[in-house]
Structure 1
Amino acid sequence: MRIAFMGTPDFAVPTLNALHEAGHEIAMVYSQPPRRAGRGKKLTPTPVDSRAQELGLEVRTPVSLKSADEHAYFESLDLDVAVVAAYGLILPQAILDAPRLGCLNVHASLLPRWRGAAPVQRAILAGDEETGVTIMQMEAGLDTGPMLAMAATPIADRTAGELTDELAVRGAALMAEVLAAPDDFPREKQPDHGATYASKIDKAEARLDFSAPADAVERQVRAFNPVPGAFFEHEGERYRVHAAKQVDRGGAPGTVLDDRLTTACGSGAIRPTLIQRAGKPIMALDDFLRGNAIPAGTQL
């Protein structure tokens, strides 16, 4: 098939690889423009942009797809299909309509559950037992289009980063299956019931809420790993918690209960197992406590 691929972050790279390995003609790769990053604030291409260049593919990085010129250029590509994975720009109707088979999206949830920007994090925060990936026909609504294929996976005790990595690989394989035999995957309308909205993560949400039950606090830790990183503050300094476990203890929420940084929640308690002081490396709790004791009775 003659394809345009549209994606930006690491999540999208496995799908680009799968399309290339399957021998599809990738007429153009679209990604968001390079952004300044690192200490030197050097312009850095997105992961998809970098991978496309490695594969010798042409890359286009418009700031927007709203202009008539962009619509005309996209139509001139004479595409069978556009494949989209976490691109990050809204596709106008003229873009959606241009390819012969329309635009297909790799979405990291079991639609209609968690439409929107942060489906993996929201699934963890809500305590869902499973998540997954859906191949969806795109339309003007936000993740409302017909579904072609779906694969589920248990959440268990995994972090957002771990789940996102798995779903990226599974989504790539599923998209490859769909494109290999599109007639074998009829479009199925999404049900009207069960739809939820996965709003973009606000960094303020990553502050640990010790007034919540311990299981909810532990889910915060997993949902915000690796970014933006769940945290608490002590004496004006921020500490990121990268992993934690629940402990059967009780006390006033936010109170450190012992010399192991066990901290009381609304019910139960949590104890960090991987922690990071600002500007320092991630450390196991024992290593951290040797030089950073936070005494029992401290209010976080």
Structure 2
Amino acid sequence: MRLAFMGSPDFAVPTLRALHGSGHEIAAVYCQPPRPAGRGQKEQPCPVHRVALELGLPVRTPARLRKDAAEHAAFDALGLEAAVVAAYGLILPKPMLEAPRRGCLNIHASLLPRWRGAAPIHAAILAGDAESGVTIMQMEEGLDTGPMLLKGTVSIGPRMTTPELHDALAPMGARLVLEALDHSPAAIPQPEAGATYAPKLSKGDAPLDWTLPAAALDRRVRALNPWPGTVFALGGETIRVLAAEPAEGAGPPGTVLDEAALIACGEGALRLTRLQRPGRGPLAAHDFLRGFPLSPGTVLG
């Protein structure tokens, strides 16, 4: 089948490799343009771009699509049977959605209609969901509202992190979209009942609010690392919390309760187990506290 693949981050890489390995003809790979990264701020291609070059596939990196008639025409000229989309990062306008004969299939990392939007993996952990999964969806103009073709489900363990859930869902999406392409399952309209949204995250989501219950802060640490991360302020520094766990304890929210980084929350307490200072490497809490003690009674920002 003649396809275009549209994706950018690591989540999309297993699907690109699976499509290539299954014998489908990939006419073009669309991904985000190279962007400055690292200490030297040199432009770096995204993960999908790098893999596409490795596989010898043609790559296109338009910065925008919505009002670009030339891009619409170029996409239509590919003569596609279908397009597969996985975390591409740009909204496809109607002319591109309608260009492939079988339309555009999206790999969405949630059990739709729950967690439509940009950050469904993070949202599932933040909410304490018992399960997540992948939905293969026929794309339409609405935000993740198209009819569903296939679903796969995975349990969210009590200590699961966003990277762990990501790594479970990415290969599932690859497997399911191949099945959808091969077998053309019937499309089922999404119900509006139970629909929720997972907005895009930002650095503004990183500060920990100690007035929240310890269980909610634990989920936040597991959901927001590695990005945007979770942080608190102390002594003019912003300290990253890389790992933590709920524990027994009580006191004014944000107060250090012992010499082993137990912090009072709005309900219960949070034991910080892995931390990082600006410009330093990550450390287990007992090593971190040797050089940066958190004295009992200190109130964290």
TM-score by length of 1: 0.98
Quick one: distance in 1 between partners of 2:118 and 2:238?
A: 26
Task: Count how many residue pairs are aligned between Structure 1 and Structure 2.
Answer: 298
2:283 aligns with 283
2:110 aligns with 109
Residue type matched to 1:166 in 2? A
1:7 aligns with 7
1:242 aligns with 242
Quick one: distance in 1 between partners of 2:245 and 2:44?
A: 37
2:91 aligns with 90
2:170 aligns with 168
Residue type matched to 1:132 in 2? G
Give the CA deviation at 1:202. 2.4
Quick one: distance in 2 between partners of 1:95 and 1:230?
A: 38
Residue type matched to 1:232 in 2? F
Quick one: distance in 1 between partners of 2:43 and 2:261?
A: 41
For the pair 1:155 / 2:156, whether they are aligned, the reply is yes
1:70 aligns with 71
The equivalences for 1:44-83 within 5 A come to 44-65=44-65, 66-83=67-84
Residue type matched to 2:219 in 1? R
Q: Deviations over 1:7-52 (max 9, x none)?
A: 0111111110110111100000001111111111111111111100
Secondary structure of the residue that 2:210 maps to in structure 1? coil
Residue type matched to 1:263 in 2? I
Quick one: distance in 1 between partners of 2:136 and 2:220?
A: 28
Q: Deviations over 1:170-207 (max 9, x none)?
A: 1111111111222xx11010011000111111212221
Q: Deviations over 1:114-158 (max 9, x none)?
A: 100011111111121111111000000000000001111122221
Secondary structure of the residue that 1:29 maps to in structure 2? strand
The equivalences for 1:213-292 within 5 A come to 213-292=213-292
Residue type matched to 1:146 in 2? P
TM-score by length of 2: 0.97
Residue type matched to 2:272 in 1? P
2:198 aligns with 198
Secondary structure of the residue that 2:168 maps to in structure 1? helix
Quick one: distance in 2 between partners of 1:204 and 1:71?
A: 35
Runs of 4+, deviation exceeding 2 Å: none
Quick one: distance in 2 between partners of 1:43 and 1:202?
A: 22
Give the CA deviation at 1:228. 1.0
For the pair 1:99 / 2:100, whether they are aligned, the reply is yes
CA contact (8 A) 2:205 2:228 kept: no
Q: Deviations over 1:237-256 (max 9, x none)?
A: 01111111111111110000
Residue type matched to 1:93 in 2? K
Residue type matched to 2:134 in 1? V
Residue type matched to 1:103 in 2? C
Secondary structure of the residue that 1:26 maps to in structure 2? strand
Structure 2 unaligned blocks of 5 or more: none
Residue type matched to 1:126 in 2? A
Q: Deviations over 1:264-300 (max 9, x none)?
A: 0001000111111111111111111122211100000
Quick one: distance in 2 between partners of 1:250 and 1:37?
A: 42
Superposition RMSD on alpha carbons, in Å? Answer: 0.9
2:24 aligns with 24
Residue type matched to 1:164 in 2? H
Quick one: distance in 2 between partners of 1:6 and 1:93?
A: 16
1:208 aligns with 208
2:122 aligns with 121
Residue type matched to 2:213 in 1? P
Give the CA deviation at 1:69. 1.1
